Structure 1
Amino acid sequence: MKSARTAVCRGAAAGNRLAAMLLDLEVDGRALRVRDLEPDDEPDVLGLFEACEDWFGHAFGQPAMPGDVQSLYYDLPEGAEFEDKVILVIEAEGRIIGLVDAVREYPGRGACSVGSFLIHPEYRRYGLGRTVASALIGALVADGCTEVIASVAEGWRPGLKFLDALGFASEAPREAAPAHRNPGPGERPTVRARLRIPAAPPAS
């Protein structure tokens, strides 16, 4: 049975639970840690990107490059605020095996938009991604989030199946929205998927 052992969030302020994040989880006896990206993580994140060449090739038409790590910091959709940018890494067995790139309060109050959710190929199909995603969604819900919006490259079946399993509803593909980065030579349209979270009933 897959189980989440602990989930500890350190928020800088109310409504900002994905800032200063620390999650400790366990899946089938394998310990996971979700934390903020740090400057010293750059080489390991590039290694993760290179390992995920299947996704980069499909989504952008080219392999990952060193500049892709730096672009994480300023890749924002139009109208988003830099202080709402969240970049998390997932650690297992002493290495970075995943990354989550999101923007809080976008495209509106109570929403959270997820741009990338990568898991190293060696760690896929063990339920790690679903466990991490569920824990992060739980943290958002605890802060009053009412909608999570994820984007996946058109035709990327693993991502579409992953979102469907989490309860997201997919929309029609659309061209990638303008962002603070240079598009890849073969960048595909994206499919937006939404997870609407019902408001909690008022306390009796």
Structure 2
Amino acid sequence: MDEIEVRELRPEDEAGVARLFAACEDYFVAATGVPALPADVQSLYYALPEGAAPDQKRLLVLCRGADDVVGLVDVVDRWPDVGSCSVGVFLVAPEARRQGVGAGVARRLIEEAAGRGMRTVVATCPGGWEPGLGFLRSLGFEIGGPEGQAGETVGNRTRHPGEKGLRTARLTTAER
């Protein structure tokens, strides 16, 4: 596996994130019933659950080399409580999947969150998206049953009308 840099999303990364969204059409169709739209990149900046402050939002890109965006993580720290963080989206480009990229980055981020006092990580995954469910299980997440309705808060965002059968996954981090 090549070295993956994880850093905050910068405006100049938006084109790479748009390409990532287009490449991950399989995920978006499984999650929402439709492919991602170009405006979905901009909406990342504004998607917050009710009660969360903008400074809690972290948009991270996974890069191979200087500008090759191969993944994205959308997380809200200290939400829904100070001991938790919620992941809205964790995407890995199809060409980087099954190479340990996602698992390696996820483990680093979980360890970082635990080091900052967060004892619970919450994520969501479409109920029929076996690659995502398997990924979460491999990291030790407990997968809950399908839940929720359109318009409800899920993970760290509002549920899209096309999202059906989302599963909530929870991980209790190790004490540091």
Q: TM-score, normalised by structure 1?
A: 0.79
Pair 1:116-2:89 in alignment: yes
Q: Which amino acid aligns with 2:170?
A: R
Greater length-normalized contact order (CA 8 Å, ≥ 6 residues apart): 2
Distance 2:34 2:165 in 1: 15
| Structure 1: unaligned runs, 5 residues or longer | 1-26
Distance 2:23 2:174 in 1: 37
Secondary structure of residue in 1 paired with 2:132:
helix
Could you say which residue in structure 2 is the equivalent of 1:49? Answer: 21
User: Could you tell me the percent identity over the aligned residues?
Assistant: 44
Q: Note the alpha carbon deviations across 1:55-104, whole angstroms, 9 max, x for none.
A: 01111111111110010011112222211001000001440000000000
Could you say which residue in structure 1 is the equivalent of 2:80? Answer: 107
1:106–1:181 distance in 2 versus 1, CA, 3 Å: closer
Report if the CA contact (8 A) 1:71-1:181 is conserved: no
Distance 1:38 1:151 in 2: 25
Decide which structure has greater helix share.
2
Could you say which residue in structure 2 is the equivalent of 1:85? Answer: 57
| Structure 2: unaligned runs, 5 residues or longer | none
Report if the CA contact (8 A) 2:114-2:174 is conserved: no
Secondary structure of residue in 2 paired with 1:137:
helix
Q: Note the alpha carbon deviations across 1:97-155, whole angstroms, 9 max, x for none.
A: 00000000111111010111000000100111000000011111111111111111121
Give the RMSD, CA atoms, in angstroms.
1.7
Count of equivalent residues: 171
Could you say which residue in structure 1 is the equivalent of 2:102? Answer: 129
Q: What is the CA distance between 1:187 and its match in structure 2?
A: 2.1
Q: Which amino acid aligns with 1:148?
A: V
Q: What is the CA distance between 1:188 and its match in structure 2?
A: 2.1
Could you say which residue in structure 1 is the equivalent of 2:123? Answer: 150
Q: Greater Rg, structure 1 or structure 2?
A: 1
